[in-house]
Structure 1
């Protein structure tokens, strides 16, 4: 009886050790996969550059998040690279006049050719607003202006919206995020790691068919009906 119990206990310990080894192998493989994916993502972002020439674009959209992005987009509009400009995700307290001053642009340009989107709270909202705006104005090819590290996720979100127009990426690089040798600074590395995690989450959401916009609208409705009006975090 003792021998049988000893053999059974030994088998259990053996299976436990095997399970532990397999779990460790899965963790190591998963870590290596994520590390390799992050390296590829960082290299992809580092390789982004503004196009040497832009042809055939009839609209420009800039996703807010920094004054440099908006300035670049306004300069493109001034050069005639697009017929209209959409600034998506504008702070509710910011109007056309303050933006024209910020970018040193003629206020008349904002009156005739610039549209402001105040509704978008995140990249999903930016993508939805962009496609709706392009459809409203009959625009088929857009120049997308946003930070280089934000460009991959923005392109994925735009492509996931039905009837999205063709997009020409126009990345804006911030000097504080990159060293002269092309490697990311400490701040740049943190931003890239955070953005890579968001890209993985977006890909998982799309693969699983999760309707984020519908889920967000339902959350807002629930908060409103419960008397807790507010805006969910982006």
Structure 2
């Protein structure tokens, strides 16, 4: 008769339980590390958003704009174009580029909407119908300025859009300096510095684009040039 040998060592329930606890500890450490990392990233982004809103508020404070070679307005609201035309009339720049105009909008329509004599457009205003985003605005404005020998520009856009616009324009090597003139969006603010609900949503969206632009620049991921942009410059003579 064969008697099966029993194992000499048997695991006790207490030892097995201890092993389970030891197995859980690395998982707990990983979860804790992930939680701390998430909290750190969230805190960094929250602090960055706070600084971003302060920058938008600072840029929207009216300041006396310095003279420049020319003025660039990024479309997105009639008030932006009005600001640019006022700067042109006051001699702050020799010429004005309105970038990103809808292809269906004529010069006559812009003159009528801004209550401006069309002769000012014929004389001293160029219209860019090609740029579809802020990257395109900066590229076309840079080529336009280089072609005309302009190095110092005044940039006009909305307050919330200005920080990201400055990032894109700063990367254009042919431009020496950019003076921001931000158009304040009063519907974003309640009182002096408090955001409205719609203002908070808009600034959060814009902050996301701003962070993405900084990351792209930090990684050296320059936007590809569009051949259509170069051919389009001929129409801005």
> Normalising by the residue count of structure 1, what TM-score does the alignment of the two structures yield?
0.87
Aligned equivalent of 1:13: 24
* Counterpart mapping for 1:49-60 below 5 A: 49=60, 52-60=63-71
Pick aligned residue for 1:46 from 20, 40, 57: 57
Moved >3 Å (runs of 4+): 3-9, 49-52
> Unaligned stretches of 5+ in structure 1?
221-234
Using the TM superposition, name which of 27-36 and 4-13 deviates more: 4-13
- Per the alignment, residue 100 of structure 2 pairs with 89
Q: 2:109 maps to which residue? A: 98
| Counterpart secondary structure, 1:168 | strand
2:40 to 29, 52, 57: 29
Q: Which residue of 2 is the match for residue 118 of structure 1?
A: 129
Larger radius of gyration: 2
How much has 1:71 moved relative to structure 2? 1.1
The number of aligned residues is 217
1:144 Cα deviation from its structure 2 partner:
0.4
SS of the aligned residue for 2:224 comes to: helix
Alpha-carbon shift at residue 128 of structure 1 (Å): 0.3
User: 2:195 aligns to what SS in structure 1?
Assistant: coil
Relative to 1, partners in 2 of residues 1:162 and 1:170: Cα closer, same or farther, differing over 3 Å? same
Deviation, 1:49, is 3.6
Q: Give, in angstroms, the shift of residue 43 of structure 1.
A: 0.9
Give the root-mean-square deviation of aligned CA atoms. Answer: 1.9
Question: What SS is found at the alignment partner of 1:167?
Answer: strand
1:144-223 → structure 2 map (5 Å cutoff): 144-214=155-225
Q: What CA distance in whole angstroms lies between the structure 1 residues aligned with 2:11 and 2:121?
A: 88
1: CA distance, partners of 2:96 / 2:192: 34
Using structure 2 for the length normalisation, give the TM-score: 0.86
> Can you give the 5+ residue segments of structure 2 that lack an aligned partner in the other structure?
1-9, 229-237
